[in-house]
Structure 1
Amino acid sequence: MPTEKDLFSEEQSMVSMSFGEHIEELRTRLILAITGLVVGVIITFVPGINLGKRIMTKMEEPATKALTEFYADQANKRSNEAKALKQVSTTYNAIIPAEAFFKEVAKLAPDLKLPDAKSLATKTLSFPMQYDQASVIQLVNSGIRPPNALVSLAPLETMTIFFMVCLVAGLVIASPWVFYQLWAFIAAGLYRHEQHYVTKFLPFSLGLFLTGVFLCFFGVLPITLSFLLEFNVWLGIEPTLRLSDWMSFATILPLIFGLCFQTPLIMMFLSLIGIFSVDDYRSKRKMAILIIVVAGAVLTPGQDPFSQLFLAVPMVILYELGIMLVARSNISAPSRFAD
């Protein structure tokens, strides 16, 4: 535990760092972080690997799979309904123009002597036909080719989305370097006895970020999409997903989840350096939940309440987890704001 003399000397060294030096430190760290991001994006364009294309194809899979399963399920329901129908045959007369009929006959049998076309202009032919509802439904059902792919509605939409995917993929690839620069900038404003927290928290910060990204992509997105498709079924609407809408949803939401998963770590870090205590977190719980709900509405790319809810609920759970971690750690760091 540092003595008051040590803390005073460290505080003096921190005060000697001017505001301009802090801005310069921020500028340096931003340049290094952006350089790492550029390198990560370049990796997605390396010929032969085609990482950007593979990632985009992988990101399309949940939507394509959900649409395929949805329309296959609807086809099975129609088939089962058709099988359950009574095999009742109905007879009706099919009436067709005589001229059109004999034109088709002439194509199949050109040597056949047929009536003059002018004499058939106003005449029709009637044929008795039989059908049953089940057979007709199954026949129509077998001929339906459902849309099982994302739809692009603008010439530059696919290219724009591809570059956005490469940018996000580059950020994930460069995330260890970017997070290091972020924590290094934070360390520049800490006491010397607090700077070792940066090296301890960096691996956990990176791990939580990647956990949030992959949990959202492989867990939250498929569940959310299935639920939204079933909601369309309930309203009787055939769903079609637009490429830009889905890819924006599938790229931004995992990043937001990754950042929100930093909540317990940040809470513990702020407690370790004496800014907040576990009692502060508990007393401000209602305010924190309100801020989380508002943040969920602002940060989620979609306007629907479901994606906002899927973000707000995990954030509240993570906030409670942060309180538990701070309480179990028995943190008693000297407050910076103490008299």
Structure 2
Amino acid sequence: MKNNEAATFWQHLDILRWVILRSLAVVVTVGTVAFCLKDWLFALVLAPSNSQFVTFRWLHTEPFALHLINTGLTEQFMTHMRMALYAGLLCAAPYVLFELFRFISPGLYRHERRAALWITLSGYLMFMLGTLVCYMLIFPLTVRFLGTYQVSPDVDNMLTLQSYADTLVSMSLVMGAVFELPVVCAILGRLGVISPTLMTHYRRHAIVAILVVAAIITPTTDVFTLLLVSLPIALLYEISIFIVKISKKSNPL
């Protein structure tokens, strides 16, 4: 019996190893393609750095353009590699999630597989939606404010490419995580940790917290910008209440 259990364990370990290797291979392959498409990749990355970006044209902002510089010998190449790898992770994520789901699904019951599939798909879609909102709205507004902010006309802004790219990636990750709120609330609702009544009771507290988070994400003095960023997060909270209410009805226990 022990030998069979040991063999089963090592077999699962070997399967997991191949899952990881295949996932890494796909991420590296997609990242390599993104690396080779340098002009297209950085046209996308650098688009929010001037007033011709679609968000600024929609908001009718004043003309501006950031001039990015490079201060290190390897900085441009390393930034190119990091952005290509991040693009590879985003694009290859569906395949990676599919491999992980295929690995764990044999050990789950039928209803557990359905729940795991729903959590995986909705989690990925919400993360991508958060990344899109960051790229189209939050990051451009932040770049415009911080990139053109001056304490004195005698002090010029000299922004590095690395700083710009790192800010884009970090803010995208933060907003992707924020947009997981409905998924997390749905899970907690199913587990009975939270309820629609509780979330409705603390709605005012949540709105204050959302405004604080929006102010941190977009450190601007423009009230319109603050409200524009707060609105999607507040909408997520309301959607979360609705999702928890549905999950309670489908699982009253």
- TM-score normalised by structure 2 residue count: 0.67
Give how far 1:167 is off: 1.1
**Quick check: 2:139–2:168 contact (8 Å CA) kept in 1?**
yes
Aligned to 1:153: 71
Aligned to 2:27: 40
Match of 2:249, SS state, is: coil
**Quick check: 1:29–1:181 contact (8 Å CA) kept in 2?**
no
Letter in 2 for 1:61: A
When the two structures are aligned, how many residues end up with a matched partner?
A: 227
Letter in 1 for 2:140: P
1:278 paired to 2:220:
no
The 1-side partners of 2:178 and 2:146 are apart by 23
Match of 1:195, SS state, is: helix
Aligned to 1:50: 36
Aligned to 1:77: none
The 1-side partners of 2:15 and 2:108 are apart by 17
Match of 2:70, SS state, is: coil
Gap change, CA 1:238 and 1:186, over 3 Å in 2: farther
Gap change, CA 1:217 and 1:154, over 3 Å in 2: same
1:266 paired to 2:184:
yes
Give how far 1:159 is off: 1.4
Match of 1:174, SS state, is: helix
User: Could you tell me which of 129, 139, 142 is aligned with 1:224?
Assistant: 142
**Quick check: 1:45–1:52 contact (8 Å CA) kept in 2?**
no
1:268-304 C-alpha deviation (Å, 9 max, x unpaired): 13433x3534158529959x96xx78xx69xxxxxx9
Letter in 1 for 2:159: L
Gap change, CA 1:276 and 1:56, over 3 Å in 2: same
Give how far 1:62 is off: 1.6
Gap change, CA 1:268 and 1:164, over 3 Å in 2: same
Give how far 1:34 is off: 6.1
Aligned to 2:80: 162
Gap change, CA 1:284 and 1:203, over 3 Å in 2: same
The 1-side partners of 2:148 and 2:112 are apart by 51
User: Could you tell me which of 40, 62, 79 is aligned with 2:48?
Assistant: 62
Aligned to 1:7: none
The 2-side partners of 1:265 and 1:26 are apart by 30
**Quick check: 1:264–1:321 contact (8 Å CA) kept in 2?**
yes
**Quick check: 2:23–2:96 contact (8 Å CA) kept in 1?**
yes
Aligned to 1:331: 249
Aligned to 2:165: 247
The 1-side partners of 2:238 and 2:102 are apart by 27
The 1-side partners of 2:219 and 2:101 are apart by 28
The 1-side partners of 2:94 and 2:118 are apart by 14
Aligned to 2:122: 204
Letter in 2 for 1:172: L
**Quick check: 2:182–2:243 contact (8 Å CA) kept in 1?**
yes
**Quick check: 1:33–1:177 contact (8 Å CA) kept in 2?**
no
**Quick check: 1:271–1:333 contact (8 Å CA) kept in 2?**
no
**Quick check: 1:66–1:226 contact (8 Å CA) kept in 2?**
no
Match of 2:149, SS state, is: helix
**Quick check: 1:44–1:170 contact (8 Å CA) kept in 2?**
yes
Aligned to 2:239: 321
Gap change, CA 1:187 and 1:148, over 3 Å in 2: same
- TM-score normalised by structure 1 residue count: 0.52
**Quick check: 1:44–1:51 contact (8 Å CA) kept in 2?**
no
The 1-side partners of 2:122 and 2:109 are apart by 21
User: Could you tell me which of 215, 237, 256 is aligned with 2:174?
Assistant: 256
Letter in 2 for 1:165: M
The 2-side partners of 1:51 and 1:25 are apart by 38
Aligned to 2:92: 174
Query: Between the two proteins, what is the percent identity of the paired residues?
Result: 22
**Quick check: 1:37–1:171 contact (8 Å CA) kept in 2?**
no
**RMSD between aligned alpha carbons?**
4.5
Segments of 4+ moved more than 6 angstroms: 24-27
**Quick check: 2:141–2:218 contact (8 Å CA) kept in 1?**
no
Give how far 1:211 is off: 1.4
The 1-side partners of 2:219 and 2:104 are apart by 30
Normalized per residue, the structure richer in helix is 2
